[in-house]
Structure 1
Amino acid sequence: MRFLRTWLEPRTLAVVLLALAVGGFVVVAHEVAAGDTLDVDRTIMLALHPQPDGGGPMWLQSMMRDATALGSTLGLSLVVCLAVLFLLLSRRGSMALFVLASALGGILLSTLLKEVFSRPRPDVIPHGDFVTSASFPSGHSMMSATVYLTLAILLIRLADTRVQKCYIVGAALLLSGIVGLSRVYLGVHWPTDVLAGWLAGGAWALGWWMVAELVWGKRG
């Protein structure tokens, strides 16, 4: 029984969460493609910006720009590179490859999804950040979920207690959550773009969680 709890529990949880994330993304994507989310998206964005010009307190705008940098290409690239270098110095080449493959695969998936849906950026308020790609799904939200949750997968293998593991996962979710909310506040993504990004990034990270469990099991 101890063996079954140790070996099956994380894998069962990963499969269930993965199915929920993928299913959630499919539902959101279908609704977005049908145009059924536009009213809700606009309502949420306008609720965040009651001023006609879409502005807000300067301190809050500055804070949101700082927060969105946590999911920027440069910010996440630095995090991934530093993590990969540390793992290589620690002679954990397979884990370094794990992090790199998850991040690069996430970028490719995000780019592909944006090309497939080609959703225009919001036009409700002036953009608070420079953007060039399509809107759906949010690349910042998806990649922050991918990178931070992938690193959390590795860190929880070093944690001794359930409380520590919950803290690590919670921190990763908090970081990706802050990034997604900042994208909506800055007016560069619809709320459903961010929701889809979280779901897609979470599903991608969960897939790599299953890989980690199969490859390393309880080994660090």
Structure 2
Amino acid sequence: MIGVVGTALLSAAAHYGRLLASVDRRIVVRAPATRGGQRTWLAVTGLGSRSAAYTAVAVAQCLRRGQAAGTGGPARHWPLLALAASDVARMVLCRAVARPRPPAENQLAHCKGASFPSRHTALALLATGLATGSVPAAAGTAAVVGLSRIALRVHWPTDVVGGWLFGYGWLAASRIVADTITYGRGRPWSADTPRRRPWPCG
């Protein structure tokens, strides 16, 4: 419930109040001072792109399918479906909150649409979690990608926090659904995680 409640509260604050603006002013992440630094942050931010996220989950599913022969039905495609559904849900939330991005003259990377929650941060967390089943890996990847979004001046810090909470909540919900789909048939969600939860529900 942590991800769901946290995302809801931050969404309301971003839409209706100036509280987040005062928080954002107190969080400082230096912008890259050189072209090399900018290219480095752009490479990092690419880890949260749609192409990287969907590719990672698809490859992980292919490998997992080869290790667990006989797995089929909805569970076979669930990770990709969960990723796509989260992408649509985030887009709806983003348009509903309609938070402006940082000033265009300060932006160091291409971006479009409203600012909250950070899509790159959410996709990085969810895709890494679905591909690896590891919460530390998912949280770490999302944290680094989130820092890149702030450094490139395309998101406010609280956008990144919102993206992290959104991704975490969706990851936990995805695990619950995956367990429901597969355990009834006597098969674990993946061959290397038999009947155990690699991340908490929250």
Report the TM-score when normalising by structure 1.
0.74
Larger radius of gyration: 1
1:44-67 residue CA offsets vs partner (Å, 9 max, x unmatched) = 2xx323xxxx55244332221111
CA distance in 1: counterparts of 2:171 and 2:25, whole angstroms? 30
Q: Which residue of 1 aligns with 2:26?
A: 43
TM-superposed deviation, 1:207: 0.3
Deviates more, 1:98-107 or 1:79-88: 79-88
Q: Which residue of 1 aligns with 2:100?
A: 120
CA-atom RMSD in angstroms: 2.1
Q: Is the 8 A contact 1:31 1:37 kept in 2?
A: yes
TM-superposed deviation, 1:186: 0.5
> How many pairs were matched up?
182
Q: Which residue of 2 aligns with 1:30?
A: 12
List alignment gaps of at least 5 residues for structure 1: 1-18, 154-167
1:136-184 residue CA offsets vs partner (Å, 9 max, x unmatched) = 111101111111112233xxxxxxxxxxxxxx32122111111111101
1:188 aligns to 2:165 (yes or no): no
1:76 aligns to 2:53 (yes or no): yes
Q: Percent identity?
A: 27
Tell me the amino acid that sits aligned with residue 185 of structure 1. Answer: A
Q: Is the 8 A contact 1:110 1:139 kept in 2?
A: yes
CA distance in 2: counterparts of 1:202 and 1:134, whole angstroms? 21
CA distance in 2: counterparts of 1:204 and 1:139, whole angstroms? 13
CA distance in 2: counterparts of 1:198 and 1:132, whole angstroms? 19
1:97 aligns to 2:74 (yes or no): no
Report the TM-score when normalising by structure 2.
0.80
Q: Is the 8 A contact 1:87 1:95 kept in 2?
A: no
Please identify which structure carries the higher helix content. 1
